[in-house]
Amino acid sequence: MSLNLRVMAPNRIVWNSQAQEVILSTNSGQVGILPNHASLLTALDIGVVKIRTASQWTTMALMGGFAMIEDNQMTILVNEAEKAADIDPREAQEAFDLTRSSLEKAEGRKQKIEAQLAFRRAKARLEAVNQASTR
């Protein structure tokens, strides 16, 4: 038994295949999804999704969105998604360091919010790469 998983960004389908298990970063924490999961609609946080197919795990950085699960069909709609295999680890680390520095220097409410969002996106990309390399 498996889930039919589809991950869609506004401009492309990022993933369209079967999965044995999916671990999502939601606004209220991580949630694991297995076949025959109860119907669910949840908001996704900026973070990492882990997908298990057979014995292999794939990680992706997701930039917020929604997930819907019903009858072993799972659809994830995201603002943007990037497979860990497509992320340059050195570039991800540099972006993380740069956004962390920008966050520390941010002044004013608007600048702090923008810096926090950029930092969270860079952190998600770096975590996706790091989790992929430890598997």
Would you state the pLDDT for residue 55? Answer: 81
Would you state the pLDDT for residue 69? Answer: 96
Would you state the pLDDT for residue 1? Answer: 81
> Mind listing the domains of the chain with CATH numbers?
3-84 (2.60.15.10), 85-133 (1.10.287)
Would you state the pLDDT for residue 132? Answer: 78
Model pLDDT for residues 74-125, shown as the tens digit of each residue: 999 999 999 999 999 999 999 999 999 999 999 999 999 999 999 999 999 9
Q: Which has the closest alpha carbon to 18: 56, 47, 45? A: 56
Q: Is the pLDDT of residue 56 over 80?
A: yes
Q: Please, what is the Cα angle at 37 between 31 and 43, to 5 degrees?
A: 45
**Which residues, 6 or more positions from 59, have their beta carbon under 8 angstroms from its beta carbon?**
48, 49, 50, 51, 83, 84, 128, 131, 132, 135
Q: Is the pLDDT of residue 131 over 90?
A: no
Beta-strand pair 81-83/3-9: unpaired
Q: Across the strands, what pairs with 106?
A: none
Model pLDDT for residues 57-79, shown as the tens digit of each residue: 999 999 999 999 999 999 999 99
Would you state the pLDDT for residue 54? Answer: 85
Would you state the pLDDT for residue 134? Answer: 64
Instruction: Give kind and range of the element (H or E) at residue 41.
Output: strand 40-53
**Which residues, 6 or more positions from 100, have their beta carbon under 8 angstroms from its beta carbon?**
119, 122
The per-residue DSSP string of 99-129 comes to: HHHHHHH--SHHHHHHHHHHHHHHHHHHHHH
Angstrom distance (rounded) from CA 120 to CA 13: 23
Would you state the pLDDT for residue 135? Answer: 55
